[in-house]
Structure 1
């Protein structure tokens, strides 16, 4: 089922319709937007690559982000508020003023080689996409994968980018015991996806990437995330079926999250792109979060609550069973970890 797409006054190839100041700035401004905004990339030299977390809602305790900000421009991206920490806008700044970490692979190698380091799966792409367009020139993600391969270290990759195909040689060489890829498919409607995720390859192309990864022996999880109640939730079963046909082994699903500045950005997007559905979508989102547009509480922020949220979970699980997709996969192995140059590597 398609949706009417309104001819909106935004910038071509960009998701946000504004560039409002972040929540930490003492003054706000409302300057007119130019006809276009080119992507600007700055370098940030880092001391540590690995970020740790203690969230009970995720299955990993460490992650790496080679980039800050994301040129993909997904309007719903829950990472947008992180740009406020840089004094930048979670709006257009997030998708046009990017930061690359050119020494991220060297920093990771140093951390993994440190005495006493204990390996566990590293998640890459859980905040901003490691295969966003600037990766084509920077190659930071490939450098990270080379380090992880050299150490026999487990890694889980999350992306919407088809550029992951470039690294099939490394990923397939690491095998299913050390790596898997999660590829996000939010809708099968290419026109809707182009507005939701303006610089992401269209869904039909992403399904082809799932097929190519699976054919190379790489375990792929399709992530039906985010599911937008009232806009894309009717597609869950079709997405799972298409992903299974392409060779995906597993699936996961997370309803839309609208933390902090993401909520007003998404509201503006709805009214500009699908004005006939805006009220229904917003009301349904509130039903998922106890009357609010977002509830950050652990345990339900990534699944919602209430009748509609429970129904969505039931539909997802039933559809996974019907098409043969797992919802849980065995843990990646950490006992294969090795430090190059150590005595153990000689045996």
Structure 2
């Protein structure tokens, strides 16, 4: 039974205290429903970030938006909003910062003397195809710059809006310059509406996998995060569905609730699933040494205990059953010259 007072279409049900602030302001309960999404243009000096995490495979990432409207209560990026003076709670979903100068910054990065190209992850922190992208089209412009410079890029998103840009993705794929990863943690649509309320539907995500694959675009799926007691019974069904849709590979992560993500998630699950909230939280603790979060490199990916081991074994079975013999192509850096190719502009 769900709490009748839960804010629908919202992951965070409250703002949580910003760890950098001495004082905090909390609106009255009825005011939360009235908060509208706002967009603020910011002016970063760079758009490409060097990834220094030892257990992540990419060297660079870029994020055209700060904050995310998708509303996933477990999003690991929530604490980054605190550096801007906002809360990791409702502010993260409703106060979106927009980097309109991102395409110019990317071109400047490509022109750096001595730059050696490596595939860049488009997203990695917040979703590059969140609803704001319909209005601002920054992700589309970034892809066009990558095509113009023949630079490889890996796209990660929860949103089928990626199909809008097939006219850029197809010629990139023909030159082995792009792959797309869809995040699909559940194919139970009722659960999806609660877990990630403003993402594309499960059906539309699977359709996007199918269309991308049929268009010759290498397609990967992140089954993430796995939350024991919520979607931990789904891996085999998800792997079969994405394999049937044409995905060439998959990855997965176990949920971890670090820093200010923890109070957001705890409040959400107590409101959305009050009858099993404590069971889910205890199962997470069983994978995280009695805690809800984990920051140690490699340990944060693996978890510990019987529940974590069961999840790992399930994915091993699914890989053997549905993905045996499939290989995901490595993107090419051979065509990059550091200068813009003379191509028809698509935006």
CA distance in 2 between counterparts of 1:193 and 1:208 reads 16
Match of 1:213 in 2: 212
Instruction: Give 1:325 shift.
Output: 5.9
Match of 1:294 in 2: 293
Output aligned runs, 1:20-169, within 5 Å.
20-33=16-29, 34=31, 35-169=33-167
Instruction: Give 1:327 shift.
Output: 8.1
**CA 1:79–1:326 in 2, change beyond 3 Å: closer, same or farther?**
farther
Match of 2:320 in 1: 321
**CA 1:8–1:124 in 2, change beyond 3 Å: closer, same or farther?**
farther
CA distance in 1 between counterparts of 2:95 and 2:62 reads 19
SS in structure 1 at match of 2:205: helix
CA distance in 2 between counterparts of 1:8 and 1:187 reads 24
- TM score, norm. by length of structure 1: 0.94
Gaps of 5+ in 1: 343-347
Q: State whether residues 220 and 250 of structure 1, in contact with CA within 8 Å, keep that contact through their aligned partners in structure 2.
A: yes
How many residue pairs were aligned? 338
Match of 2:221 in 1: 222
CA distance in 2 between counterparts of 1:341 and 1:298 reads 38
**CA 1:321–1:107 in 2, change beyond 3 Å: closer, same or farther?**
same
CA distance in 2 between counterparts of 1:59 and 1:328 reads 16
CA distance in 1 between counterparts of 2:64 and 2:162 reads 14
Q: State whether residues 158 and 183 of structure 1, in contact with CA within 8 Å, keep that contact through their aligned partners in structure 2.
A: yes
SS in structure 1 at match of 2:130: coil
Q: State whether residues 251 and 326 of structure 1, in contact with CA within 8 Å, keep that contact through their aligned partners in structure 2.
A: no
Q: State whether residues 320 and 326 of structure 1, in contact with CA within 8 Å, keep that contact through their aligned partners in structure 2.
A: no
Q: Deviations over 1:112-155 (max 9, x none)?
A: 01211111010011110000001001000000000111111111
Q: State whether residues 16 and 263 of structure 2, in contact with CA within 8 Å, keep that contact through their aligned partners in structure 1.
A: no
Q: State whether residues 20 and 29 of structure 1, in contact with CA within 8 Å, keep that contact through their aligned partners in structure 2.
A: no
Q: Deviations over 1:208-250 (max 9, x none)?
A: 1111111111111111000101110000110111111111111
Task: Give the RMSD, CA atoms, in angstroms.
Answer: 1.6
Match of 1:265 in 2: 264
Q: State whether residues 190 and 202 of structure 1, in contact with CA within 8 Å, keep that contact through their aligned partners in structure 2.
A: yes
- TM score, norm. by length of structure 2: 0.94
Match of 1:16 in 2: 12
Greater than 3 Å deviation, 4+ residue runs = 325-328
Match of 1:345 in 2: none
